[in-house]
């Protein structure tokens, strides 16, 4: 048995080779990112130089820009900047120590008096971005001349396999850093100017210094989202939008937001004039905003900042608080991003509310284009009130489907004593209008919102109440409650049934129940009908008929839901049947008519299974009717 050894403190040991390997191959899911990192470093170096100039340092007057040169013949790519450069010592320190960021140190060393504003554009902070170059490089040579030192320029060289060399450069070298990359066999595409330009446009299109590829300026559009709102014209916004989306039409609206606390972000959103690209390209894949960290793109079509129902917006979100070296996987879980999302969502909704109030025409145009997607917001309980206020509806208040109302406008038109908001769902305006469920509401002059899309009832359900008024389907409207409201239409009051007739009517109802059997749960007198002879309603408190239909489709249920048949004693046809029934309790025509009325209602509700019986009965009825006339 060996003796137990004493306690001790140990340092982790690292195989630098392997560590570099992991770093290079797992930090980024996309190889072209190395260019973004090199451009970001160059931009930082230029920023530092500008900063020193501001502090009063005398520096040689060179254009502050980033020059990229492609050499497909030699399979090399060169990235040069006229920034601060590095001394020999700095190169050893910054490029030779993994996870050492000279930039972070620079920011830390700035005196306390320096305002955050001045360092706002500086990107680097982790000291790992540079190594991403080894995803594409066999060998990298960094030649640098520091602005702060008289020593000659040095070249740092490495193949990324764990060692590097540093040697002085003969002759004159200008200020700044030049990175020469010998590309791997499978990465020679990065010596092609077109490939490089498109990569720069995609990831670094908004860097604040000119980025030149073989002498051509590639970043031509300004990062408008970081500029003060009052300085930007509508033309500039439109131009930016078109550069961003390739949309040929100007946007309907621009939403430019910025915040400093608790989290810093700038965002610029646009409402496209048409939603066609979203719908045709498949909404799921297409939507999303571009996420930037200090002008550098970190994710295209990010779907976490804006909730799905605001996904019709296109645009950009930029935050200084997000780390640049963040992968897609960790983005989703990023708490900061969630905070930004909450803020952005609130502010977008309140912007839209203001627009709806001040410029209802534009808002309605937005609604007509994007309302379908917006309705998905019924699941956002946090912003329920704002969501409800932004909804628009077709309504009995208007003569056609062009008119739109908000819930608030509906409330302003409500009858005295009315304490519920009524709606009715159906396939089309025509279908809704002919529903017997509207008769009583129409007689009372009560407005009804018309819903034509399956999602609408989920929306109504989720909203539940608005400003203390319950949203109620006309199918569930309480006749007793409505009866208290005064009639607005001149109703030709039908002659009341005598007590005796009423007793016979009760008999007719139970005869009808016998005829229909299990197809209805009940046959009863209707209090809600004015014109129609009958209406089918759901047993009290159950779902509306259209909701039932959706549920049945979802659960593959083919049975017919339970129904109550209500009969209108004031209807002429019903009165005729009543007289026939009075004479002959078993009159076969009463059977025929009852079947026919029931099936016609089922047909309108979309539940008729067998049209043959119905058609046969129509013929039979016509024969009966013509017999009398012909004789």
- Rule CB under 6 A: which residues touch ligand ADP? 37, 41-42, 45, 81, 83-86, 94-95, 101-104, 124-130, 177
Tell me whether residue 48 or residue 530 sits nearer to ligand ADP (CB atom): 48
User: Residue 620 and residue 592: Cα distance in Å, rounded?
Assistant: 9
- Residue position matching structure tokens 């960094």: 142
Q: Cβ of residue 68: shortest distance to Mg ion, in angstroms?
A: 16
Residue 262 Cβ vs ligand ADP, minimum distance, rounded to whole Å:
25
Under the binding rule (CB under 5 A), the answer on residue 132 touching Mg ion is no
Q: Do residues 15 and 98 touch, judged by C-beta distance below 8 A?
A: no
CB of 96 to ligand ADP, least distance (A): 10
Minimum gap (Å) between residue 197 Cβ and ligand ADP: 20
**Packing angle between helix 588-605 and helix 499-516, nearest 10 degrees?**
70
Instruction: Decide whether 103 or 406 has the Cβ nearer to ligand ADP.
Output: 103
> Which of 85, 129, 371, 569 is in the footprint of Mg ion by CB under 5 A?
129
Which residue, 148 or 427, has its beta carbon nearer to ligand ADP?
148
CB of 95 or CB of 388, closer to Mg ion: 95
Q: How far is the C-alpha of 65 from the C-alpha of 321, rounded, in Å?
A: 26
Residues in the chain, total: 631
Return d(Cα 618, Cα 510) in angstroms, integer.
24
CB of 410 to Mg ion, least distance (A): 56
- Say how many C-beta atoms besides its own lie within 10 A of residue 340's C-beta: 23
**CA torsion sign, 466 to 472 to 478 to 484?**
positive
Of 34 and 374, nearer to Mg ion (C-beta) is: 34
Q: Which does 125 bind (CB under 5 to 8 A by kind): ligand ADP, Mg ion, none?
A: ligand ADP
Instruction: Provide the mask over 549-568, with x wherever binding to Mg ion is found by CB under 5 A and - wherever it is not.
Output: --------------------
* In 220-291, alpha helices (H): 234-245, 276-280, 283-286
Supply the minimum distance, in Å, between the C-beta of residue 217 and ligand ADP. 19
Q: Burial code of 468-501, b = ≥16 C-beta within 10 A, e = fewer? A: ebebbbbbbbeeeebeebeeeeeeeeeeebeeeb
**Between 86 and 223, whose beta carbon lies closer to ligand ADP?**
86
- CB contact at 8 A, 422 and 449: yes
In whole angstroms, what is the distance from residue 319 CA to residue 298 CA? Answer: 11
| Positions 35 through 54 that interact with Mg ion (CB under 5 A) | 41
Binding map of Mg ion across residues 99-128, x = CB under 5 A, - = no contact: -------------------------x----
In the chain, the largest separation of any two C-alpha atoms, in whole Å, equals 124
Work out how close the CB of 208 gets to ligand ADP at its nearest, in angstroms, rounded to a whole number. Answer: 15
Q: Phi and psi for 138 in degrees, rounded to 5?
A: -85, -40
Query: DSSP labels for 123-173?
Result: ---SS-GGGGGGGTEEEEEEEEE-TT--SPPEEEEE-SSS-EEEEEPPS--
Closer CB to ligand ADP, 294 or 549, in the complex: 294
Under a CB-based contact definition with an 8 Å cutoff, are residues 215 and 70 in contact?
A: no
Which one of ligand ADP, Mg ion, none interacts with residue 436, CB within 5 to 8 A by kind?
none
Interacting partner of 154 out of Mg ion, ligand ADP, none (Cβ under 5 to 8 A depending on kind)? none
Q: How many chain residues interact with Mg ion (CB under 5 A)?
A: 3
We find the least distance from the C-beta atom of residue 361 to ligand ADP, in angstroms, to be 49
The residue with its CB nearest to Mg ion is: 129
Positions that interact with Mg ion (CB under 5 A): 41, 124, 129
């Amino acid at each position: 048995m060996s003796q137990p050894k004493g306690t001790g403190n140990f340092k982790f040991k690292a195989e630098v080779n392997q560590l570099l390997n992991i770093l290079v191959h797992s930090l980024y899911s996309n190889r072209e990112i190395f260019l973004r990192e090199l451009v970001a470093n160059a931009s930082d170096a230029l920023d530092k130089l500008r900063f020193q100039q501001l502090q009063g340092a005398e520096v040689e007057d060179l254009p502050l820009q980033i020059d990229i040169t492609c050499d497909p013949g030699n399979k090399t790519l060169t990235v040069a900047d006229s920034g601060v450069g590095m001394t020999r010592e700095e190169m050893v320190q910054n490029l030779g120590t993994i996870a050492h960021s000279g930039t972070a140190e620079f920011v830390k060393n700035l005196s306390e008096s320096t305002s955050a504003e001045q360092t706002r554009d500086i990107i680097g902070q982790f000291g790992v971005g540079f190594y991403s170059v080894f995803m594409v490089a066999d060998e990298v040579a960094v030649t640098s001349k520091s602005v702060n030192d008289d020593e000659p320029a040095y070249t740092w060289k490495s193949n990324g396999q764990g060692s590097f060399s540093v040697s002085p450069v003969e002759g004159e070298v200008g200020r700044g850093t030049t990175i020469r990359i010998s590309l791997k066999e499978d990465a020679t595409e990065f010596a092609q100017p077109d490939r490089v330009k498109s990569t720069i446009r995609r990831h670094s299109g908004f860097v604040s210094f000119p980025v030149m590829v073989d002498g051509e300026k590639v970043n031509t559009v300004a990062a408008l989202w970081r500029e003060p709102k009052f300085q930007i014209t509508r033309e500039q916004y439109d131009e930016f939008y078109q550069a961003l989306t390739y949309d040929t039409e100007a946007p309907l609206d621009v939403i430019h937001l910025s915040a400093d606390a608790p989290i810093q972000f700038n965002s610029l959103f646009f409402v496209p004039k048409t939603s066609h690209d979203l719908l045709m390209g498949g909404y799921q894949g297409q939507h999303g905003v571009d996420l930037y960290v200090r002008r550098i793109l970190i994710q295209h079509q990010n779907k976490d900042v804006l909730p799905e129902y605001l996904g019709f917006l296109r645009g950009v979100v930029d935050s200084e608080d997000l780390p640049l070296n963040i992968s897609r996987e960790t983005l989703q879980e990023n708490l900061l991003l969630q905070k930004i999302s909450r803020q952005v969502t609130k502010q977008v909704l309140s912007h839209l509310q203001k627009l709806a109030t001040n410029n209802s025409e534009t808002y309605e145009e937005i609604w007509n284009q994007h309302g379908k997607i917006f309705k998905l917001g019924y699941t956002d309980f946090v912003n329920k009130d704002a969501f409800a206020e932004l909804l628009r509806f077709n309504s009995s208040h208007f003569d056609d489907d062009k008119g739109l109302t908000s819930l608030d406008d509906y409330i302003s038109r409500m009858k005295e004593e009315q304490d519920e908001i009524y709606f009715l769902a159906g396939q089309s305006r025509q279908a809704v209008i002919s529903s017997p469920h509207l008769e009583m509401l129409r007689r009372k002059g009560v407005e009804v919102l018309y819903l034509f899309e399956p999602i609408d009832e989920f929306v109504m359900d989720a909203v539940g109440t608005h400003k203390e008024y319950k949203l109620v389907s006309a199918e569930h409207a309480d006749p007793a409650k409505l009866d208290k409201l005064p009639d607005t239409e001149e109703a030709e009051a039908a002659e009341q049934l005598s007590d005796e007739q009423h007793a016979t009517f009760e008999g007719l109802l139970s005869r009808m129940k016998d005829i229909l059997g299990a197809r209805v749960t009940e046959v009863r007198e209707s209090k809600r009908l004015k014109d129609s002879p009958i209406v089918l309603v759901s047993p009290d408190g159950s779902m509306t008929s259209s909701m039932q239909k959706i549920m049945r489709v979802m659960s593959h249920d083919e049975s017919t839901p339970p129904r109550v048949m209500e009969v209108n004693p004031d209807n002429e046809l019903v009165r005729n049947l009543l007289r026939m029934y009075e004479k002959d309790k078993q009159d076969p025509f009463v059977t025929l008519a009852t079947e026919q009325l029931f099936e016609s209602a089922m047909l309108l509700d979309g539940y008729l299974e067998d049209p043959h019986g119905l058609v046969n009965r129509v013929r039979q009825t016509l024969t009966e009717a013509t017999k009398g006339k012909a004789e």
